Amino acid sequence: MSADSTPLQSSAVINEAVQTLRDGGLVAFPTETVYGLGADAKNPEAIKKIFTTKGRPSNHPLIVHLAAPDKFDQAQIDWVALLAPWARDLSEEALRLINAFWPGPLTLVFKKDKNVLNELTGGQDTVAIRAPAHPIAQELLRKFKGGVVAPSANRFGKVSPTSAADVRSEFEGMLDLMVLDGGDCEVGIESTIIDLSSGDKAVLLRPGAITPSEIFARTGVKVYQVGELQDNLEGHGAKEDLPRVSGSLKAHYAPTTPLRLYASGRVLDALSEYPDTKSQVAVVVWDSESSLVLEDHPSIDAEEIIVSSDPNTFASRLYRTLRDLDQQGWDLILFPEPPAGENWDGVRDRLQRACFGSGPSSSSHASN
């Protein structure tokens, strides 16, 4: 999406949003990943409002969003000063990651400053921080002159919103919710989360558009997978020691329609496992694959939905596709399993959690 197709929000609207945040209200705003539901990160009452509005468990931590001031003649932004009220122990590696990828879809987890509210950290001694790249998010944060916590602007556990219309339909009853419209989100899935809080190793806690090999190529910082840590460090850095972060619950990003993944070429197996053969099924297929043989199942009303086999394009439209299919009244949605490789890890992670949480009863196990 080019910048000129973004509906520009006037300064007056942004100023109103800033005032809303200062008054302890919530503002939904666009980022390059998904739309966020924002509140003043230093206001405990406003933060509680996020949890009740979303129906989110209060021990589930939030991400603090910061913006650099306008850099008129600065060659490099002084992130150390900006992070000082929030994080401590900024390592040299942390600064390399920040200078390479901020603003952008990369969240970093640090040991928190003592003044950071427990309400936003889920009671942990760590804080997650990112600098969003969307121009409207940046303008809002610059004018607000502070940190804004902003989980995705949707009901907890459901499909994340990638347009202002998604946010409005998600919170229909909340007439007082201010929504800044910044067009469709470009990245389309939530940020990559890297834990730097242990001090000695960077650990991937949530995959996203920025991959470990891209981080290594641009900064020389090696990012470890959680599994690698357990193999290397018996007793140290085990999963229990890692911070809890956004989007790490087993059921998340989930449509109300049952969602299943099928292995390449195995769509008929997936259909036959589904009990009701009179079903209307939406079968999502790669644009690179020819039409599937669905005639073998005459009792199933199946329709193909073509999606891009490019990982970035697929990611940018994943939630849009899930949301649209969810509203069309299918009995089942079948998605192809994403190919192997870390370029697909982010969408594979989202799809697996969406499958686990999907179906009409998903509210009952969204708490796992």
Range 259-365 has CATH code 3.40.50:
yes
pLDDT for residue 278: 62
**What three-state secondary structure class fits 205?**
strand
Question: What whole-number distance in Å separates Cα of residue 328 and Cα of residue 333?
Answer: 11
Q: What CA–CA distances, in Å, run from 274 to 66, 270, 319? A: 46, 7, 23
pLDDT digits (tens, 9 = 90+) for 32-83: 999 999 999 999 999 999 999 999 999 999 999 999 887 766 677 889 999 9
pLDDT for residue 74: 65
- State yes or no: cis peptide before 336, omega within 30 of 0: no
User: What is the phi-psi region of residue 359: left when phi exceeds 0, alpha when psi lies from -120 to 50, beta otherwise?
Assistant: left
Single-letter amino acid code for the residue at 263: A
Which 8-state DSSP code applies to residue 95?
H
For 281, list phi and psi in degrees, rounded to 5. -120, 130
Single-letter amino acid code for the residue at 137: A
Which 8-state DSSP code applies to residue 241?
G
Instruction: Tell me the domain boundaries of the chain.
Output: 3-241, 259-365
pLDDT for residue 35: 98
pTM of the predicted model as reported, rounded to 2 decimal places: 0.91
**What three-state secondary structure class fits 126?**
strand
Per-residue pLDDT of the chain in tens (368 residues, 90 and over written 9): 344 445 567 889 999 999 999 999 999 999 999 999 999 999 999 999 999 999 999 999 999 999 988 776 667 788 999 999 999 989 999 999 999 999 999 999 999 999 999 999 999 999 999 999 999 999 999 999 999 999 999 999 999 999 999 999 999 888 679 999 999 999 999 999 999 998 789 999 999 999 999 999 999 999 999 888 766 555 444 555 889 998 888 888 999 999 999 998 888 788 777 766 567 889 999 998 766 656 566 667 788 899 999 999 999 999 999 999 999 999 999 999 999 999 999 999 999 999 999 987 644 344 33
- Please state which CATH class domain 3-241 belongs to: alpha beta
pLDDT for residue 266: 84
Closest CA to 186 of 86, 105, 289, 96: 105
Q: What CA–CA distances, in Å, run from 204 to 97, 166, 221, 243, 338? A: 13, 29, 12, 11, 19
Closest CA to 142 of 224, 250, 236, 68: 68
pLDDT for residue 2: 41
pLDDT digits (tens, 9 = 90+) for 220-244: 999 999 888 766 555 444 555 889 9
Q: What CA–CA distances, in Å, run from 9 to 26, 92, 212? A: 17, 37, 35
Question: What whole-number distance in Å separates Cα of residue 156 and Cα of residue 12?
Answer: 31
pLDDT for residue 294: 62
Closest CA to 186 of 137, 113, 128, 123: 137
For the record, the structure tokens of 322 come out as 């899930």
160 and 54 Cβ atoms separated by less than 8 Å:
no
pLDDT for residue 365: 40
Q: What CA–CA distances, in Å, run from 236 to 89, 202, 255, 284? A: 20, 14, 37, 42
- How many CB atoms sit inside 10 A of residue 57's CB? 13
353 and 254 Cβ atoms separated by less than 8 Å:
yes
